[in-house]
Structure formats: structure tokens, C-alpha cells
Amino acid sequence: MMDNFSQVLQKYYQDSPDQIAVHLLYSRQAEQTLTYRSLMSSACGYARALIKAGVEPGEVVVLILDHSEALVSAFWGCVLLGTIPTIMPFLSEKLSPDHYRKSLNALFEITAPSAVITRPEFAPEVQAAKAGQRDTGLRTVLIADETDSQPAAECGSGAQDSFAGLKRSAEEVVLLQHSSGTTGLQKGVALSHRAVFNQLESYSRALHLTAEDVIVSWLPLYHDMGLIAGFLLPILSGVPLVLMSPFDWVRAPYKLLQAVSNYRGTLTWMPNFAYNFCAQKIRARDLQAVDLSSWRAVINCSEPMHWRSHQAFLESFQPYGLRAEALATCYAMAENVFAVTQGGIDTPVCVDQVSQEVLLSHQEAVPMPNSDGATRMLSAGRPIVNTRLRILDPQGRELPERQIGEIALQSDCMLDGYYHRSDLTEKVFLDGWYLTGDLGYLANGELYVTGRKKDLIIVGGKNIYPQDLERLAGEVPGIHPGRVVAFGVFNERSGTEDVVIIAEIEQGTLLQSAGGKQQLTAIADEIRGRVTRGSDVALRYVKLVGKDWLIKTSSGKIARLANRAKYLAELATMP
């Protein structure tokens, strides 16, 4: 049994140096293939550069890099040195630099990294954020392009053995995972080597993963699904990974299917919206000679899963060899490293046809043989080995089958804690059970996720904290400060949530007057602009309302779920 990531990497490097670890696909240049030898040698280069910069094992290193060999190598360089890497999204052009700087500050404040590795064009931003901080301990900004990779020979067994990463204990933290926005960046999930190894072992069993598999992924590595399923699982298991950029995939989704066909891909993970996206936006001319018969599991994960999305995907790609049995589901979260349950591997994904009305009104899933008034729930499958599930009522008591409550879990791969936030860590556990904040029910041992108790918006698999959006919208002149609410509403066509913002305006008379319309449009546009530039969320719906429209809780806070219900009720009664 290996103790840490570095030992596993070293084992592959020594036993099968020419084995392919990663194929990196690009839209504007030829693909790159990294063997375990080349991965080890470029990782050594980064580890040495970090040592030279005075970075010590156990310190946090932030990686702000685009899809590239540099990102892959820098991550493993950090691991080899025994530092704790965390991957941040690369700045997209529409985000305002000012806001990105604020995000960096939010991250630096809590995680106190000692180094950042980034691209030259981005270094000034990081330096500015560094300067804006009192004393974060951030000592160095390394430029990826200037880090020489070492010849493999120099990284031979003797040289490598000196790296502290090989001596890390299994209980030590190996990496941090953050979700987006100020709130997410201040809540890094810290995972130990042991937790990740335990997850990979249990999850590999659930998937029946073998060396014959080929994982194809377009997911970003700053997201748990991308980092674990689409990066660490293959590399630490000796399974080849074909990795493309999310930036390229969203512009050319057909390239995923071409990659599966070209590399005989067997496993892919995607959020629900991607099934709709592929089904709607890929044209036949881009699928000539594409053969998807090698795909044994396309796993829907990280946002609510919908039966219709699976159907649409199947109808579009069955003619190209996609098998119905390949459609699979998974319930996962960074706090459990990744997977909690897995469905659709041993048997097709279970579909539970239940009464929509009873589901909503009585918090119970009552089977309904007729399709009238029924909704089809997709099972997320059964818990993976060493993970136990319970459904709890609001008092923390276990509920019987088919009753909806909060999903709680226990496993041997739980987070070490939220990094430097023991206050938050304490709050999410109840008697040793992790409270997910998700709602669902169990039936015949299968988990069905029905909704959320926590105020979280999930767009395209990405977690968005509404308070971050509310703060951005609340800065717009003409809006009543603090009188803004943000929430998500499912959009059947796109297969994910649309973000809605409702804001109370200071000058309520604008809503009635004929001349007020122009001013209202200007305010709404300003909200859209600020949210887009400040958060990377495309905001579709802005509703401006008068004073006292928003429902408050007894403690005076804006009640997000109640306001969401009010908005939906108004929408339903509109002519």
C-alpha cells in the first residue's frame, strides 16, 4: 500500500516509464502525449523551481494555468515536493481584472499560499493581488514558461528520492479544492492522500476500472469532477487519459465524440447540461466515421440529472454506436473526494416513476404506474464501498424509504476539513455524519436526489453561491442595498439552471410611470453586466420590483427559497 501520490507516480515511472499517462488535445496545435517518464521529468523541473524559490513541503501553491502540459506538470511538481496544490480557473477575458483580483485576495486570505504558478501575461494581476494583502506569506510568483523540465536521466531514482513528497504521510493533506466565487474560494476542501486513495479504490471497484479503460474528459481541473474523475483517477491508476480543454469543448462539442472514437474511449463524466448541449449542437457532418461503441459509461454527475437529457443524448448518438447501457449516473461531492454513489454500471440506471404532486406537497416518492401526473426520477445508483447513506428529517432522525429528507453520509474518504476553516467544518457534521445539504430519498437501496436544502445555484455543473451574485447586484446604483435575491430555476431545454435575480429598486415609482421604463432597462443591464464581469455567470433573468416585494425571514434576512417560490407562482399565473 502506497502512502502518498509521489510514490505511485514513481512506481509507474520505474515500472513502465513509456506507458502513456495523458494525451493532451488542442484546437490549434497538435496533440501532446505525456508518458510517465516525461511527466516525471517535467514534474521534477517544477519541484526544483519551487525549491529554488524557497517553497517548503506542506505549503500551499496556487496554480493559475490554462489547459496545457504546464498545468499537468506543475500539479505533479507540487505533489513531488510535498506542497499542497490548488487549481484556480484561468482568467477569462470577460471577467473584470478588478474582480479577479478580489477573488485572488479572497483565496489568499484563507489559504495563505507561499507560491503561485501562472503565465507571464497573468503575473501582473497576481503581483497586484499580492501587493494588496497585508501579510499573506506569498513569497513567489513563478512563471510556467520559464520552468525548465529536467532530462529524465537527472530525475533518475537517486535524484528523485530526495523529494520530500515521497515521504509525506498518508494522513497529510495532498490538495485543496475550491468552488467559485468569494464564498467558494474561502472554503477550500482539504483532502489527505489516504482519503483520495480510499476513494479511488472504492470508486474503481464500482466502475470495474481496468488497464483496458481509456478516460476521455473535457472537464476543467479546478472542479472536483475534472480533478478526480478526469485527472487523478486515470493517472494514479495507470489508465490513459485523453484530456481536452473545456474552452475548446464548449465551442466544438463534437470534438469530444471524435476523441472517444479516435482513442477508443471507454469512460467520460459530464454534468447534465452537457447531454443537452451535445444533442442540440452537434451536426452530422462533424460525426462522419465516428464510432462510439467503445464508450461503456457516460456518467452524468455534479448537477441534477434528468431522464429527458439522457433520452435526447441517446437519440442523437445511437446512430453512431452509442449504447443505451452506457448511460450512467453518479452523485458526488468534493467533501467525499468525489463519488458517493454510482449507477448504470452493473445494471441500467433505475428510473422511478413517481407522483409529481405528492413529491412536491408531501415530501414523499409514491410510485405511479401511469405516466399522467408522474415524473421520472433518475437513480444516482448505490453507495460505493465504504460509504454509508442516511436520509434525515429536519430533527436529524433517520427517515424510512421513499421519504424525502437531507442526505447524510459517512465514509473512509471524507475531507480532512475546510482548509483553515474549522468553524465551517464543525457545522457540516452531525454525530459523525456529514450533512450534504442535498435532499433525496432511498428506494431499494438506490439514491434519488430531488433537490437542495442549501442555498446553492448549480449552472452547468458549477456551484454558484447566491450571496456572491447578490453582493454584485446590490452594488448597482438605484438598487436598495441588501434587497436583492438570487436563485436558480431549472431550464428544461438547456438541462441546467438559469440564474434569476430579483432586486428592489429605490425609486418604486419608476415601475408605474411610462417614462420609467428606460431607466429600469438601464438598471437591469447594469446588473447583468456586473454579474457577468464579476462572476462568470451569464445572467438571463433580472426582475426589478418595488419596496417590500421580497419576503424576509423572522430575523430580517432575505429568504431565498420563499422568494423563489413566489417568483415561480407569479410566473405561473401570468397570462
Partner 1 sequence: MQNDITGGLSNYIATQILKQPERSISNSEALISSGLIDSFSLVDLALFIEDTYGVHIDDTELNADTFDSLDQLATLIQQRQ
CB of 500 to partner 1, least distance (A): 12
CA distance 532 to 525: 10
Q: What are phi and psi of 348, to 5 degrees?
A: -60, 155
Cβ neighbours for 121, distance < 8 A, ≥ 6 positions apart: none
Hunting for cell 442526505 — which residue is that?
A: 407
Q: Please identify, using beta-carbon distances, which residue of 98 and 148 lies nearer to partner 1.
A: 98
Min dist CB 238 to partner 1, Å, is 32
Which residue type is seen at 441? Answer: Y
| CB-nearer residue toward partner 1: 27 or 210 | 27
Determine the Cα–Cα distance for residues 465 and 75; give it in Å rounded to an integer: 27
Min dist. Cβ of residue 27 to partner 1 (A)? 5
The smaller minimum CB distance to partner 1, of residues 234 and 271, is found at: 271
Strands 496-505 and 541-545: parallel
Yes or no: say if 18 and 55 are a contact pair by the CB < 8 Å rule.
Answer: no
The nearer residue to partner 1, 281 or 480, going by C-beta atoms, is 281
Question: Do 450 and 439 meet the contact criterion of CB atoms below 8 Å apart?
Answer: yes
- Strands 84-88 and 32-35, by their bridges, are unpaired
**Cα-based angle 239, 242, 246 (whole degrees, multiple of 5):** 135
Give the nearer residue to partner 1 in terms of CB position, either 351 or 538.
538
Amino acid of residue 462: K
Q: Which is nearer to partner 1, 262 or 532 (CB)?
A: 532
Nearer to partner 1, 93 or 135 (CB): 93
d(CA 349, CA 371) in angstroms, rounded, equals: 18
28 or 134: CB nearest partner 1: 28
According to DSSP, residue 229 is labeled I
Min dist. Cβ of residue 338 to partner 1 (A): 24
Smallest separation (angstroms) from partner 1 to the CB of 528: 8
Interface residue list for partner 1 (CB under 8 A): 27-28, 92-95, 247-248, 250-253, 255, 277, 281, 283, 460, 494, 521, 529, 532-533, 538, 540-541
Within 296-373, strands assigned E span 297-300, 327-332, 339-343, 351-355
**Cα distance between residue 299 and residue 569, in whole Å:** 34
Closest distance to partner 1 from the beta carbon of 224 (Å) = 21
- The sign one gets for the Cα dihedral 557, 560, 566, 571 is positive
Alpha-carbon distance 357 to 267, whole Å? 36
Cα separation, 547 vs 150, whole angstroms: 64
The helix (H) or strand (E) run that includes residue 113 is: none
Q: State the nearest-atom distance from the C-beta of 429 to partner 1, in Å.
A: 36
Nearer to partner 1, 17 or 97 (CB): 97
Smallest separation (angstroms) from partner 1 to the CB of 319:
20
Q: Are 367 and 354 in contact (CB under 8 A)?
A: yes
Between 209 and 459, CB nearer to partner 1: 459
State in angstroms the smallest separation of the CB of 129 from partner 1: 21
Going by their DSSP bridges, the two strands 417-418 and 297-300 should be labelled as unpaired
State which residue, 95 or 123, has the beta carbon closest to partner 1: 95
Cell numbers standing for residue 368: 405511479
Nearest approach, Cβ of 498 to partner 1 (angstroms)?
9
- CB within 8 Å of 109: residues ≥ 6 apart: 133, 136, 186
Q: How far is the CB of 282 from partner 1 (least distance, A)?
A: 9
